[in-house]
Amino acid sequence: MLDLIIKKPKNIKNDILSGITVALALVPEAIAFSFVAHVDPKVGLYAAFMMGIVTAIFGGRPGMISGATGAVAVIFAPLVIAQTQLHGPDVALNYLFLAVCLMGLVQMLFGFFKFGKFIRLIPHPVMLGFVNGLAIIIFKAQFGQFYIGTGDAARLMPAEPLMIMGILIALTMGIIHFLPKFTKAIPGTLVAILSVTGISLYLRSIGFEIYNVLDFVQNLDPSKTTLAASLPSFNVPIFNLQAIKTVLPYALLAASVGLIESLMTLTLIDELTETRGRGNKESVGQGLANVVNGFFGGMGGCAMIGQSIINIRAGGRGRLSGIAAALSLLSFFLFGSTFIEAIPLAALVGVMFMVSIATFEWSSLRLLKQIPRSDLIVIFAVSITTVIIDLAIAVFVGVIISALVFAWEQGKNITAITEVNENGHKVYSLKGGLFFGSAAGFKELFNFKEDPEHVGIDFEQSRVYDHSGIEAIQNTAERYAQSGKKLHLLNLSKECKELLGKADNIVEVSIIKDLKNWHIAEDSLD
């Protein structure tokens, strides 16, 4: 359970130490997310470095960590697989880098137009469904690692290495789960990777077949016999109309998912630190980082909830913590590539299984009997849509369902208290908002045949919100006019008057400012 507020002093020492700690956790996940996206591990490591350093410098939330993520990896994986089968791995990478560039441009435009505020419109049940669906996708993606070969030639591993792999996966997950109960001085993920890699090397030395990172790299591209430990280099990806048409759907989807996850993480860090990040600036920073990724050979990414919380808990508060994490990660890659090559697939699959388990919001299952049925429907709808279709559409579906449920519930709340004043005029004192969800109920409140000649609707405790509300008022006025009666609107708010003023060619009823001075009815608006 997360602490509501994590208070630690902001200083250079805390930022540097927390950054190094985060880097230790970033290495195995960056490699593992490369497997999800079906690319060389160095592509994931480059992405983690560039996302981390660019967003740390230019982003809107100091202390938040960005890197290669599963949410983005699962979106680009189908693109990489399809283009690899059609054109080979090198061309597939160019398509990926173009998609990452376009993803970044979309995110930058999102920030420039100040759309970051719209993250507030995403209800909590939608967020729960989103992370649950993401966890399921990451979990499912790991089963592809139990096969040798690609495409139609893929086949299940032989029984013996498959059994050994299963044991090593279980060991990896066990260390990650149980080690923090004894000590938190060393990241459990790092200990698990080191331990399982050591066991793997020993088993190889006595003749057992163990699949490792290098085996996976060779499976993607048989020409590669080692991981190239080097700095990212500038390269312009394929830019032509056909390529853009191919990658644009993936880029738009990844941009949406990346922004949602980043802004959700920003909101969480704001709550934990009692500070305020800048959503629009973070959107620009995320976009710039992804554009840089596209030109320097990274797979793109977004903010990382887990690593950000690790950083905050370790005392990281400033931009230096993110910079330190990115530079430490690069150092590990440049000077530890030999070790990376030896990491077995089992360790990485175990890490990703634990990531998916940690990502899943188990609290949503415990609350099944405690939350409204509509919220439960939203959670399941978003989760299922995420798994079957994609993450961004799932969020839109969840928001639409939530909005319709809200409109339905609010529409049922419109009521009116009636009274007849000393002049014999009947007044309906309205309560509740008048909009598309309540328009039908509003029309049913009035007794058109039996009401007196002058009828008023008092909006002192109500508001008109949209064109459906205006149409409902006009329809009511027409029905009274057909009966030889006049309708008057009283105590309208300034916003309602402006709304009706824009519709003066639609609505023809009188507006009276003060109910107490209501003596003569007029047929035009003030």
Residue 512: band (very low, low, confident or very high) from pLDDT cuts 50, 70, 90: low
Residue 68: the pLDDT is 93
pTM flag (> 0.85): no
* Window from 93-107, 148-162, 421-435 with minimum mean pLDDT: 148-162
Residues of the chain by 3-state class (helix, strand, coil), percent to 5: 65, 10, 30
pLDDT for the residue 501? 63
Per the CB < 8 A criterion, the answer to whether 350 and 170 are in contact is yes
Provide the pLDDT for residue 510: 58
What is the pLDDT averaged over residues 67-86? 90
pLDDT tens readout for residues 215-246: 777 777 777 777 777 888 898 888 889 999 99
Per-residue confidence at 491, pLDDT binned at 50, 70, 90?
confident
**Winning range, highest mean pLDDT, from 74-83, 145-154, 381-390, 495-504:** 74-83
Q: Give alpha helix (H) positions in 389-487.
A: 391-411, 439-443, 467-482
d(CA 101, CA 404) in angstroms, rounded, equals 35
Identify the weakest region by mean pLDDT among 100-104, 285-289, 413-417, 510-514. 510-514
**Do residues 361 and 108 touch, judged by C-beta distance below 8 A?**
no
- Minimum mean pLDDT range among 56-70, 388-402, 435-449: 388-402
pLDDT of residue 503: 54
- Comparing CA positions, the residue from 272, 256, 288 lying closest to residue 62 is 272
pLDDT at 107: 96
More confident residue, 209 or 151: 209
Contact residues for 258 (Cβ-Cβ < 8 A; gap 6+): 69, 71, 72, 103, 107, 286, 290, 300, 301, 302
Q: Between these two residues, 377 and 423, which has the higher pLDDT value?
A: 377
Query: What's the whole-number mean pLDDT along residues 392-409?
Result: 86
CA distance 479 to 481: 5
pLDDT of res. 489: 84
Domain boundaries, the chain: 12-360, 415-517
State yes or no: pLDDT of 83 exceeds 80: yes
- Taking the C-alpha atoms of residue 454 and residue 470, their distance in angstroms, rounded to an integer, is 20
Between residues 199 and 130, the one the model is more confident about: 199
* pLDDT at residue number 213: 79
pLDDT reading at 518 higher than 50: no
Please say whether the beta carbons of 26 and 307 come within 8 A: yes
Question: Whose structure tokens read 């369902």?
Answer: 401
- Per-residue pLDDT tens for 266-293? 887 887 787 888 989 999 999 999 999 9
Does the pLDDT value for residue 519 go beyond 50?
no
Better-scored residue on pLDDT, 458 or 389: 458
> Which residue would you say has higher pLDDT here, 184 or 150?
184
Task: State residue 498's pLDDT score.
Answer: 67
- Size of the chain, expressed as the number of residues it contains: 526
The listed range with the strongest mean pLDDT (178-182, 185-189, 391-395) is 178-182
Maximum mean pLDDT: which of 25-34, 97-106, 176-185, 510-519: 97-106
Architecture of the domain spanning 415-517: 2-Layer Sandwich (3.30)
pLDDT band at 46 (very low <50, low <70, confident <90, very high): very high
Arithmetic mean of pLDDT, 299-304: 93
Say if residue 463's pLDDT is above 80.
yes
Q: What angle do CA 301, 307, 312 make, to 5 degrees?
A: 130
Mean pLDDT of 188-202: 87
Structure confidence at residue 3 (pLDDT): 47
Residue matched to tokens 């004894």: 182
pLDDT recorded at residue 500: 65
Q: Which stretch, 12-26, 124-138, 321-335, has highest mean pLDDT?
A: 321-335
Q: Does 43 have pLDDT greater than 90?
A: yes
